Structure 1
Amino acid sequence: MKTNSVEFGKKLKAIRTEKGFSIRQTALQAGTSNPYISQVENGKRNIPKPETLKKLAKGLRISKEEMFKLAGLEVSKPTNIEYIGSNFVNIPVIGEIACGEPITAEENISDYVPIPANVVKNGNYFILNCVGNSMEPTIANGSQVVIREQPDAENGQIAAILLEDENTATLKRIKKTKTGVILMPDNPEYEPIILNEDKRGRILGIVKMEMKRF
């Protein structure tokens, strides 16, 4: 079915609003500008070309197939590929973390993984690849964890913490004291990390789900 630019823009805005994304956040995730997203939503731009549609799909965390369908484009479906339906959401996998950038900025994203929509509702989410066995047996080396973005965590929760001096994210269990925060490994062979003036860090979010690789 042919779609015009006004209808397409309304559909994009509805998806963005439903996911709770701002125009700025969508633009950052898509690698475009705020004015461009606004113009597309208001029907002031022609329906984008396929390459730009792929960027918009990343910005809204939906599959490119769903985006092409919104734009009225037919996509051939090879029989050996399972496509993401409306019950799944593409969640970004964070590779290297760029200093000073939001965790889900395009510069940080290495891939996307489809996750059931009911798992990742009520918030923004990202995925981290687990390297090392400091959280074993709770979280296995080589697995992936789904993180819900939030700036704080409760005692005992496993969180993703950005170690600012190393510019890397680590998974540890939170232990709050009167003087600060201690990052506790579940593996007793590893030493806790004490956050202080010399070792700064900030919480990126809490672990909601582990996905083991086979």
Structure 2
Amino acid sequence: MKFGEKLKELRLRKDYSLYDVGEKVDVSHSYIDLIEKGKRRASKKVMERLLLVFPEHEEELTDLYMAEKIPENYLKKLQEIKNNTKLEKINTKIIKLPVYGLASAGNGVLVPEEMGEREFLVKENLHINQNCFVVIVHGDSMEPLFYDCDSVLVDPNDCTELRQLANKVVAVEVNGETLVKKLTINNDFEIELNSLNDYYPPIKLKEEDETQCIGVVSRLIDRDLNKIKI
């Protein structure tokens, strides 16, 4: 069944008119009619409002909506992968690591005074060097590599001369402020600190800047999939 067909079925089941649903989601009745007829796909905002109108059918509507949003050939490929994938047992262990309470991915600033300690579930064979710590990412400037609320492992043992860290994501202190950015060397051989999201401009390091490497971001260690917006 198509998304629009299911929407119409649920609307009639609740005895709602096109005008009723349009008013509830703040769009015209003709917009709802086009969605039901499959002539227009609901925008993300309209979809979110429709789920509020039919909360008991949230999962079913979401599945149909995403099925139409993702190309059919990709869905078939995903299904083939799912059918051919054998589940293997993964041995895990729990480790405790110090955590920085805030790392804004918007401006990349760490807040060391909010440092605490947390437990993480990792693969049993994962080796973590001494003195490593975790940074919690907040914001979108680290996307698409890291998302909001991701926990990333920072290894201070990998620090070396800044120019040797080109193309690595690092925690670096600049004039007393600690940033988490990707370090690059531009065409003028200047060191730049870049966000992974192109929306944010690079930061050029000047000769007079006092800089020190705090650590290299070595891996993602925990991710809340509920925080990722599709």
- What TM-score bracket applies, with the shorter chain setting the length? 0.3 to 0.5
Q: Which has the larger radius of gyration?
A: 2
Name the structure with the higher helix share.
2
TM-score by length of 1: 0.47
